[in-house]
Amino acid sequence: MRVYADNAATTYLSKTARDKLIECLDNFNGNPNSLHTDGQRTQEVLDEARAIVAGCINAKNPNEIYFTSGGSEADNQALISAARGLRNKGKKHLVTLNIEHHAILHTMAKLEKEGFEVTYLKPQPNGIVDIEDVKNAIREDTALVSIMFANNEMGAIQPIPEIGAICKEKHVLFHTDAVQAAAHLPIDVQAMNIDMLSMSGHKFHGPKGVGILYARNGIRLTNVIEGGAQERGKRAGTVNVPGIASMAVALKEGCDNMEQNMSKVRALRDRLIEGLKDIPYSQLNGDPVKRLPGNVNWSFEGVEGESLLLHLDLYGIECSSGSACTSESLDPSHVLTGMGIPVEAAHGSLRFSLDYENTEEQIDYIIEKVHSVVELYRSMSPYWEDLQNGIREHCIPEHM
Ligand SMILES: *Cc1c(COP(=O)(O)O)cnc(C)c1O
């Protein structure tokens, strides 16, 4: 059996998105910035995509939607715009979480080198930030709060409407990296007081290499790519119309089917959680309820996540240990350690990210194989032996 359970790393193109991509590649090859007929036909496709995206997140106006090369670029542009735009007003402080995606954390580090001060809030043990901490972190000179909608590794959903309300009250810009949330959780940028929001096509069954930055009217974006005047002068480069049109229909498809997809995926997630619970000295990471419908992140003491992952792959089960972006380094996940999970437990963690294409049969197969693989690696692990002999102390309780 083959089971794809790594949808937080990337999803497969849906049939609707694929059909749209092919249709545009075949029929809309003009440059939307050209004034002739072919250019203008292509421009219409782009306008339509912008309107669809705006509708999915309840943006007031389609001109608040900017297309980028992905979630990373949208994150970079949001932070750089807020920081550089407000610096000459004396604002030089930024607030974020220590469990954000590296597209946020590395951009923050870059801004620190430019003289900005960054507060990295630590979430509670369930992976969710305390809104009091957000409130207390905001200062007179705070330019921006950037807090992710939902975490890509352990799925915790942050209190976005509450944070939006605080930022509005304190007149601080609020950006959220909604790459994992878009098409999976309801998003309303107006009701949630979100000023800027990032999304990525390939995380909701659209193509890779296209993303979206929503920026409320009135926010002055700074270019991260210089050149032509595409995207209202804020993102240079000939626009990838087929990719964008395909991403827009994928987003709409996900939003239109959100209720039914969510309840199906949640049931699969909870079946997997139930099935792994009896493995001793193992635990679910992240809030059990306020988590992405498809996310299961589990730590097993005494084993290496990478070994488990590779062995599960032999059985056809594709999952991840930590996020795909960090899986080439053997450092423990900054997300798990950032929320206070001991390094020993973080090393033995696996992430399953499920989707509506998964089945109950697949979940039961994952449960069976995880049990046997954990047992196998523990039986070969000197570390596990030390735990058994009491030479080392357990950091996860025997039972959840
Ligand atoms: C995948 C991901 C990104 C990066 O998006 P790309 O389109 O791959 O650049 C950013 N943030 C989060 C939370 C993600 O999961």
The tens digit of pLDDT for each residue in 101-145 reads: 999 999 999 999 999 999 999 999 999 999 999 999 999 999 999
**Is 138 within the bounds of a domain?**
yes
| pLDDT exceeds cutoff 80 at 205 | yes
Specify whether 195 is located in the same domain as 295.
Answer: no
- 181 with 274, same domain: the answer is no
Residues 185 and 269 in one domain: no
Task: Provide the percentage of residues in the chain whose pLDDT is more than 90.
Answer: 96
Do 182 and 128 belong to one domain? yes
Q: Is 180 in the pocket of ligand 1 (CB under 6 A)?
A: yes
Residue 324 has pLDDT above 80, yes or no: no
Between the CA of 182 and the centroid of ligand 1 the distance, in Å, is: 11
Show the tokens assigned to 81: 């715009």
What's the whole-number average pLDDT of the chain?
Answer: 96
Please check whether residues 252 and 263 belong to one and the same domain: no
Residue 23 lies in a domain: yes
Q: How confident is the model at residue 400 (pLDDT cuts 50, 70, 90)?
A: confident
Separation of 378 CA from ligand 1 center, angstroms? 33
Is residue 241 pLDDT above 50, yes or no? yes
Count of domains for the chain: 2
- d(CA 300, CA 276) in angstroms, rounded, equals 10
**Cα-flanking dihedrals φ and ψ of residue 308, to 5°?**
-60, -45
Nearest residue to 383 via CA among 300, 320, 309? 300
Residue predicted with more confidence, 225 or 327: 225
Rounded to the nearest whole angstrom, what is the distance from the C-alpha of residue 153 to the centroid of ligand 1?
A: 11
Residue 196: φ, ψ to 5°? -140, 145
Residue 322 has pLDDT above 90, yes or no: no
Q: Determine if ligand 1 sits within 6 Å of the CB of residue 70.
A: yes
For atom 5 of ligand 1, the residue with the nearest CA is: 71
Which atom of ligand 1 is the closest one to the Cα of 70? 7
Q: Quick check: CB of 234 below 6 Å from ligand 1?
A: no
| Angle of helix 37-57 versus helix 241-256 axis, rounded to 10 | 30
Q: Which amino acid is it at 164?
A: G
CATH code of the domain in which 268 resides: 3.90.1150.10
Within-domain flag for 5: no
Verify whether ligand 1 is closer than 6 Å to residue 177 (CB atom). Answer: yes
The closest alpha carbon to 208, from 69, 50, 357, 393, belongs to 69
Spatial CB neighbours of 165, under 8 Å, sequence gap ≥ 6:
193
Q: How confident is residue 299, by pLDDT bands cut at 50, 70 and 90?
A: very high
The protein residue with its alpha carbon nearest to ligand 1, atom 6, reads 71
Percent of the chain past pLDDT 70, that is, above it, reads 98
Q: Show Cβ contacts of residue 29 under 8 Å, excluding neighbours closer than 6 positions.
A: 38, 42
Q: Is the pLDDT of residue 91 over 70?
A: yes
Q: Which are the catalytic amino acids?
A: 325
Asked if the structure places residue 193 within a domain, the reply is yes
Distance 40 CA to ligand 1 centre (A): 31
Encode burial over 129-164: b for 16+ CB neighbours within 10 A, e otherwise: beeeebeebbeeebbbbbbbbbbbbbbbbbbbeebb
71 C-beta closer than 6 A to ligand 1:
yes
Whether 350 contacts 327, CB under 8 Å: no
Shared domain for 114 and 92, answered yes or no, is yes
Q: Does one domain contain both 314 and 186?
A: no
- The per-residue pLDDT for 389 is 94
Tell me, using a 6 A CB cutoff, whether residue 203 lines ligand 1. Answer: yes
Q: Whole domain around residue 217: which residue ranges?
A: 15-256
Is 315 a residue whose pLDDT tops 60? yes
Mutation test residue for ligand 1: of 152, 198, 210, the one with most atoms within 8 Å of CB: 152
Ligand 1 neighbourhood includes 200 CB (under 6 angstroms): yes
pLDDT band at 290 (very low <50, low <70, confident <90, very high): very high
| Domain end residue (candidates: 207, 227, 256) | 256
How far is residue 141's CA from residue 149's CA, in Å, rounded to a whole number?
24
The answer to whether residue 102 is domain-embedded is yes
pLDDT tens per residue, range 26-67: 999 999 999 999 999 999 999 999 999 999 999 999 999 999
Same domain, 115 and 163: yes
Residues 242 and 263 in one domain: no
User: Is 95 inside a domain boundary?
Assistant: yes
209 and 293 belong to one structural domain = no
Separation CA 386–CA 295 (nearest Å): 31
Please check the confidence at residue 280 and state whether its pLDDT lies above 90. Answer: yes
For the segment 56-85, the average pLDDT, to the nearest whole number, is 98
Contact 230 CB / ligand 1 (< 6 Å): no
Q: What is the pLDDT of residues 137-174, one digit of tens each?
A: 999 999 999 999 999 999 999 999 999 999 999 999 99
Whose Cα sits closest to atom 15 in ligand 1?
152
CATH of the domain at 185: 3.40.640.10
Could you tell me if 238 and 352 lie in one domain? no
**Which atom of ligand 1 approaches the CA of 100 most closely?**
13
Residue 386, pLDDT > 50, answer: yes
pLDDT score for 323: 47
Q: How far apart are CA 336 and CA 161, in angstroms?
A: 24
Angle between helices 241-256 and 258-276 (to 10 degrees): 70
- Looking at 221, 256, 291, the residue that finishes a domain is 256
Distance 71 CA to ligand 1 centre (A): 5
The yes-or-no verdict on residue 346 having pLDDT over 70 is yes
